[in-house]
């Protein structure tokens, strides 16, 4: 175990003397605070904070992060207050320690709500200072390295949460080395047998391949020397968990994965990367479609490199990554490398650091818009596994999106308002469905319309957390405004029957009622009425009369237009259509459900003014309504085609069709037909009756 002196020597290579002394002081403070405490392994507890600081020193992190690493368990384990740390080491270090302490209470094996709440804490802590998550990742890494002292069940629990949450976060922040170690250690703890077998197979394969690897390395180095290019060529090793994931995901045998030889070439400048690419393509033939330029278009986590696959000697496939030394550092340490290349405290974050900040900002925005913590974690988990596609806006700007994203995801990535008002899209100048998954290199154009609204069906195919959160948020707002509008109409309808109106009720009476119901605004009351949580008749009675005084029932039906939106639905049991005599059932939380007047499902509450309201169809009612028909006819060839052409001739549309033979001669066909009103339905039935062999047509009702 390295001592504080050994750590101080390492830190003096990139930190000033005063900063190293501050780190030393934090160590001695932690040593005193944890005096007498031991780890499960029997070592003094202070060895853990020292190991965490060593991990951060490998990443060349700043002195405040290292001090926070030394003190990260002090608040939680020793009872020392945050204020005491603030007085000793300054506000910034105290805030970092407090942030990490809150994350330490995260427990991903408890029920889903607790996991989600903890994840929200993480988002808040990261938003205040992103170094909090770096200290937490280093803390988790040392715990993973020392897992063997724990019981099997606890090992598996910690390994599971590491693979599910911490490894993806490390990946999202571009920290390749940390992610790889998390995955390999997590895999070993979760599946010790599988891990051991793959590890032994890799060792054997590497021994057998040594000669061919050396030959390829020599030929690549010689090729660079001939072209006068300086660069380091090294073999790249696949990590155990990566091999396991490829074997499972691509259903390949171990030998197929190990047959590919991987190399990395590190050079000094960006333009040299492209010269190296030309040189290796001259040496071996490149594999078509396998070249990727992540220098011009970096990955979402800031990763930059050129990737190409070549046909080597004897047709052996060779994967090559070409990058600069700075890109190598960024690829390995990601956001942590920002502190290594940062020249002054005032410098604006760029590259990986800017992307990480942007991601955290997006996470916070999702948290504010999400209805609950479960909705939030669902969105963020999608966001943590971004196998990206790169698409272009019509003006040539590059947008990066997770794999499987659609035009709706793209629209919300451009701007929330563009997503909310989106009605169609063009992919590479052709009109395409909004649900079509985007391919890298496509140009996407969004067609929007003022006043357009998100469609609830979009939730079935959007991929990004941002799109999902904003669609849900917009639908909630839409539902609220529609509920308020319907509630106002229902209340005024009842009040009109008593020769009154909402705007004629004294303000003090309304305020008294709001206070009684513990509501803040009149809109909240109207929303409750529109959603069916409060009955318009009861609310009107309370507004107009003294307690207990009975009012007469209002006269005349309420006209509905069919455009009331999410708070008005049509009962599936009796499928009413314009022209049918109807009644409205106020269902708590759902709003108004429209039934046929003689529907058996509401026969018991039909005359209760608190549960049902008389309705009529407005003259300007619009839309398409589904009706189920049962057609009995003699069996004949081309039966379905005949029925379809008859419905089509009457301007109807078949939504669903099913058929069963009653006997060898008579067939019974169930049709769900989309019509405008009763007159339209009569036209459809008339056309069907004209068919030869039709015995009976019945409109189905529950």
Distance CA 243, CA 264 (A): 18
Is 183 one of the catalytic residues? no
Residue at 412 is within a domain: no
Q: Which residues pair with 232 in a beta bridge?
A: 266
Domain count, the chain: 4
Give the residue from 58, 57, 49, 59 showing the smallest Cα distance to 20.
57
pLDDT tens digits, residue range 541-573? 777 765 444 445 555 677 777 666 666 788 888
Domain termination residue (choose one: 321, 340, 359): 340
Beta strands in 92-196 (DSSP E): none
pLDDT score at 545: 62
Q: Which residues contact 85 (CB under 8 A, 6 or more apart)?
A: 71, 74, 75, 93, 94, 97
Boundary-marking domain end, from 273, 308, 340 = 340
H, E, C per residue of 636-676: CCCHHHHHHHHHHHCCCEEEEEEEEECCCCEEEEEEEEEEC
Q: What is the rounded distance in angstroms from the CA atom of residue 119 to the CA atom of residue 164?
A: 12
Beta bridge partners of 235: 263
- Residue 362's H or E segment, with its range, is helix 352-369
**Shared-domain flag, residues 125 and 14:** yes
Q: Are residues 214 and 136 in the same domain?
A: no
pTM, two decimal places: 0.59
Average pLDDT estimate for 397-423: 87
Nearest to 382 by CA among 439, 301, 463: 463
Q: What range does the domain containing 66 cover?
A: 4-193
Question: From CA 669, how far away is CA 660, in angstroms rounded?
Answer: 7
Instruction: Report the SS3 class of residue 419.
Output: helix
CATH number at residue 668: 3.30.70.260
User: Whose structure tokens read 């407090």?
Assistant: 98
For the segment 340-360, the average pLDDT, to the nearest whole number, is: 55
Instruction: Please report the DSSP string for 492-503 in residue order.
Output: HHHHHHTT--GG
In a domain, 485, yes or no: yes
Q: Domain check: are 185 and 212 in the same one?
A: no
Pairing status of strand 591-596 against strand 568-570 = parallel
Per-residue pLDDT reduced to its tens digit, 277-307: 999 999 888 888 888 888 888 877 778 899 9
Give the separation between CA 638 and CA 644, rounded to whole angstroms: 10
3-state DSSP assignment of residue 592: strand
Q: Which of 689, 671, 682, 688 has the alpha carbon at shortest distance from 629?
A: 671
Burial class, 395, CB count within 10 angstroms (exposed 0-12 / middle 13-18 / buried 19+): exposed
Q: Is residue 156 part of a domain?
A: yes
Q: Which of 60, 61, 65, 31 is nearest to 47 (CA)?
A: 31
Query: Is residue 71 in some structural domain?
Result: yes
- Which of 31, 43, 58, 76 is labelled catalytic? 76
Q: Does 18 reside within a domain?
A: yes
Cα dist from 489 to 128, 456, 544, 562, 582, whole Å: 47, 25, 17, 14, 17
Which strands, in side-by-side order, build the sheet including 653-661?
653-661, 666-675, 625-634, 694-699
Residue 347: predicted pLDDT:
47
Claim to verify: residue 522 and residue 592 sit in the same structural domain = yes
Residue 405 lies in a domain: no
- The string of pLDDT tens digits covering residues 565-584 is 666 788 888 889 888 888 88
The per-residue pLDDT for range 584-613, each reduced to its tens digit, is: 887 776 777 889 888 888 888 877 766 788
pLDDT of residue 341: 47
pLDDT at res. 123: 63
pLDDT band at 265 (very low <50, low <70, confident <90, very high): very high
Mean pLDDT (the chain) is 81
Residues in the chain: 702
Indicate whether 189 and 216 sit together in one domain.
Answer: no
Q: Which of 576, 598, 617 is the last residue of a domain?
A: 617
76 is catalytic: yes
Strand (E) or helix (H) holding 521? none
| More confident call, 240 vs 354 | 240
Q: Is the pLDDT of residue 258 over 80?
A: no
Find the catalytic residue in 77, 293, 319, 445: 77
Distance (Å, rounded) from C-alpha 698 to C-alpha 456? 33
Query: Do 120 and 261 belong to one domain?
Result: no
Same domain, 23 and 161: yes
Which residue, 76, 95, 90, 92, is CA-closest to 30? 76
Q: Is the domain of 266 the same as that of 216?
A: yes
């Amino acid at each position: 175990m390295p001592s504080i002196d050994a750590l101080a020597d390492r830190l003096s290579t990139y930190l000033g003397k005063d900063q190293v002394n501050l780190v030393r002081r934090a160590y001695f403070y932690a040593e005193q605070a944890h005096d007498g405490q031991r780890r499960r392994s029997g070592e003094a507890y202070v060895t853990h904070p020292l190991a965490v600081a060593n991990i951060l020193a490998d990443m060349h992190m700043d002195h405040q992060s290292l001090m926070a690493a030394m003190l990260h368990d002090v608040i939680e384990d020793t009872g020392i207050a945050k204020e005491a740390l603030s007085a000793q080491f300054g506000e910034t270090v105290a805030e970092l320690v407090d942030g990490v302490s809150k994350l330490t209470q995260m427990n991903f094996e408890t029920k889903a709500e607790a996991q989600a709440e903890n994840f929200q804490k993480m988002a808040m802590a990261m938003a205040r200072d992103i170094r909090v998550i770096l200290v937490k990742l280093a803390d988790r890494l040392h715990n993973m390295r020392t897992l063997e002292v724990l019981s099997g069940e606890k090992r598996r629990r910690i390994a599971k949460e590491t693979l599910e949450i911490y490894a993806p976060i490390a990946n999202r922040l571009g920290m390749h080395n940390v992610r790889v170690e998390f995955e390999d250690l997590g895999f070993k703890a979760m599946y010790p047998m599988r891990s051991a077998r793959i590890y032994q197979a890799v060792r054997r394969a590497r021994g057998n391949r040594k000669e061919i690897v050396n030959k390829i390395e020599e030929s690549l180095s010689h090729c660079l020397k001939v072209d006068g290019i300086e660069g380091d060529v090294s073999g790249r090793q696949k990590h155990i968990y990566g091999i396991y994931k490829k074997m499972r995901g691509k259903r390949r045998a171990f030998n197929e994965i190990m047959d590919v030889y991987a190399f990395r070439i590190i050079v000094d400048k960006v333009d040299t990367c492209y010269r190296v690419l030309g040189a290796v393509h001259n040496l071996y033939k490149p594999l078509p479609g396998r070249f990727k330029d992540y220098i011009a278009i970096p990955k979402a986590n800031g990763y930059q490199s050129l990737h190409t696959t070549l046909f080597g000697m004897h047709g052996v496939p060779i994967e090559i990554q070409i990058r600069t030394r700075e890109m190598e550092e960024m690829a390995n340490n990601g956001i942590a490398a920002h502190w290594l290349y940062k020249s002054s405290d005032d410098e604006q974050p760029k590259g990986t650091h800017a992307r990480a900040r942007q991601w955290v900002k997006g996470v916070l925005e999702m948290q504010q818009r999400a209805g609950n913590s479960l909705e939030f974690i669902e969105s963020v988990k999608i966001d943590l596994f971004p196998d990206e596609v790169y698409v272009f806006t019509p003006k040539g700007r590059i947008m990066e999106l997770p794999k499987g994203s659609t035009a709706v995801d793209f629209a919300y990535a451009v701007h929330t308002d563009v997503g909310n008002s989106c009605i169609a899209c063009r992919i590479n100048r052709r009109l395409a469905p909004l649900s079509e998954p985007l391919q890298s290199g496509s140009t996407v154009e969004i067609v929007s319309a003022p006043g357009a609204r998100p469609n609830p069906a979009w939730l079935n195919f959007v991929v990004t957390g941002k799109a999902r959160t904003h669609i849900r948020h917009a639908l909630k707002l839409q539902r609220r405004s529609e509920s308020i509008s319907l509630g106002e109409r229902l209340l005024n309808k009842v009040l009109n029957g008593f020769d009154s109106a909402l705007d004629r009720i004294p303000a003090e009476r309304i305020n008294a009622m709001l206070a009684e119901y513990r509501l803040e605004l009149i809109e909240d009351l109207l929303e409750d009425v529109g959603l069916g949580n409060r009955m318009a008749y009861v609310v009107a009675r309370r507004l107009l009369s003294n307690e207990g005084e009975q009012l007469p029932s209002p006269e005349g039906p309420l006209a509905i237009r069919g455009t009331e939106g999410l708070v008005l639905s049509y009962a599936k049991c009796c499928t009413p259509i314009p022209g049918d005599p109807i009644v409205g059932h106020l269902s708590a939380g759902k709003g108004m459900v429209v039934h046929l007047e003689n529907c058996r499902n509401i026969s018991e509450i039909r005359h209760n003014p608190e549960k049902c309201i008389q309705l009529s169809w407005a003259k300007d009612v619009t839309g398409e309504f589904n009706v189920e028909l049962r057609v009995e006819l003699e069996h004949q060839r081309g039966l379905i085609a005949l029925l379809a052409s008859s419905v089509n001739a009457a301007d109807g549309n078949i939504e669903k069709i099913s058929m069963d033979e009653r006997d060898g001669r008579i067939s019974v066909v169930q049709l769900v037909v989309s019509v405008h009103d009763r007159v339209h339905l009569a036209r459809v039935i008339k056309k069907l009756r004209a068919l030869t062999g039709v015995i009976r047509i019945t409109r189905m009702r529950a």
